[in-house]
Amino acid sequence: MSRTAATVPVIPGFHPDPSVCRVGDDYYLANSSFEYVPAVPIWHSRDLVAWTQVGNALVRDEQFPAARAGDSGGIYAPTLRHHRGRFWLITSDVGDPHGGQRLFRADAIEGPWSDAIELPELRGIDPDLCFTDEGECLVTYCSWTGGPSAVWQAAIDADTGRVLDPPRLLWGGTELGHTEAPHLYRRGHWWYLVVAEGGTERGHGVSVARSRSPRGPFESAPHNPVYTHRSTERPVQNVGHADLVERPDGTWAAVHLGVRPRGMTPSFHVNGRETFLAEVDWVDDWPAFRPSDAIPPAGAWDVDDRFDRLHPRWVSPRARIEDFARPVQGGLEVRGVEGSGVYTRLQALHWTAVFDVDSADADSVVHAEIRLDDRHRVGVRIAAGTATAIWTVGGAMVELGSVDATRGRLEIASVASATGGPDDVMLTADGQSLGTIDGRYLSTEVAAGFTGRVAGVRVERGVAIVRRIAITES
């Protein structure tokens, strides 16, 4: 896949459902994080193209009890807004038995963010938060109340979470169905309701409706969907879930998700849903989307970490990293906790990941691995001086090969596929080959779910010292 503006995400890797807001000349963005913690990565940019992660919003168990989240469960589709000197974040915790939405606030984008203000009456996903000029705070969200997915709305007191009027149906969407991810904006005398439709797969797209009031009634755009790549051969597919922002000069842009599928039909995407940038023009008071011409610099997402501190890129499924790992002299000490590990999202299409790992005791069992979910992963296990490549797909676990390992230097690489898949994944230990797998088995089209590949270290038993993890685009 050639490197052009039409193919390069502004935030690559498993960073879906982007939500953006502007404060002066600064832009801030949040993504879904599902079962991983710390949750909801937060980004800063001055131009909507070059982004730097400044933290994660949800870092405490009181904010998000991640232990209950299954694969592709947890935190869905946040909306990030700024109002009267304060940042606001609203999201859904799909594992919450009480349902409803969860609202957070912070005086600074880096946090600390408040504990959740719970909105159990507003059951659904993908909540939007809109502060009107009249002083109302409207929560607009996707719900299946009484039938297919549709857009619902209620006014709340943002300080207390009190729902001020009964939730009501706002718009049922178009015939594309699967109406979700609403966002509400004012431009001139019109209020615009931007939604995702068609499902988050190949039929995904952006639809729009407008009204003179944020409470409706809304009329559908005559040419919905206003943005989609369905039924095309474009290298980026599944585009949708857009959030719009106005620049200081009065031009508009949108961040949205998309995927980069590769290989033979039906083609396979492995990095999850990524964040892309589009330009938005206004034609007859309707938004018209076009891909951005901006290209982030090559190599901007390479990782070389020796763990003198814990960068916000590192996450773990269902367990806080601080509960089982800590920076020490010479690396990161990681203790064995079931189901946990220290991972970062893979962001290039082809890459090489190098892991320097030492076992802290003779009984330690350590894995350097690529994870899609608990049932789809591949890596190298170090135990009792032996390195073994382990491949897990569905309910099966296969040992690909073993060698004596003296230094604990492990390498996993994604290379061009020899069999029509998205890539091949090669595993080595101390320079000795352990095996190669077809990357299709670590793709969303095979495993299902909403996340993407992550790379890192998991300690099955005992203690390990992670000296270095380096991931470079190749």
**Res. 3 pLDDT band, cuts 50 70 90:** low
Portions of the chain given CATH number 2.115.10.20: 18-291
* Angle at the Cα of 16 from the Cα atoms of 143 and 355, rounded to 5 degrees: 140
Measure the CA–CA gap between 124 and 70, rounded to whole angstroms: 18
Residue 285, sorted as left (phi over 0), alpha (psi -120 to 50) or beta, turns out to be left
Measure the CA–CA gap between 138 and 128, rounded to whole angstroms: 8
| Residue with token string 């089209």 | 445
Structure tokens belonging to residue 113 = 């963010």
Residue 146 in this model has a pLDDT that exceeds 80:
no
Q: How many helices (H) and strands (E) does the chain have?
A: 1, 37
Task: Determine the length of the chain.
Answer: 474
Question: Would you call the peptide bond into 217 cis, given omega within 30 degrees of 0 as the criterion?
Answer: yes
Q: What is the pLDDT of residue 297?
A: 78
- CA–CA distance from 361 to each of 222, 333, 384, 385, 424 (Å)? 67, 12, 10, 11, 33
Q: What is the pLDDT of residue 1?
A: 56
In CATH, the number for domain 303-473 is 2.60.120.200
Whether residue 338 lies in the annotated active site = no
Distance of CA 221 to the CA centre of its chain: 29
Whether residue 35 lies in the annotated active site = no
Residue 338 in this model has a pLDDT that exceeds 60:
yes
Residue 402 in this model has a pLDDT that exceeds 90:
yes
The average confidence (pLDDT) of the chain is 95
Active-site residue identified among 71, 128, 180, 243: 180
Measure the CA–CA gap between 347 and 471, rounded to whole angstroms: 9
Q: What is the pLDDT of residue 361?
A: 81
- In the chain, what percentage of residues exceed pLDDT 70? 99
What is the average per-residue pLDDT within 343-361?
Answer: 94
Measure the CA–CA gap between 367 and 392, rounded to whole angstroms: 12
Closest by CA to 88, choosing from 100, 101, 97, 99, is: 101
Give per-residue pLDDT as tens, 203-230: 999 999 999 999 999 999 999 999 999 9
Phi (first) and psi of residue 296, to 5 degrees: -65, 155
**CATH class held by domain 18-291:** mainly beta
Portions of the chain given CATH number 2.60.120.200: 303-473
State the DSSP code for 441: G
How much is the pTM?
Answer: 0.96
Q: What is the pLDDT of residue 2?
A: 58
**Res. 305 pLDDT band, cuts 50 70 90:** very high
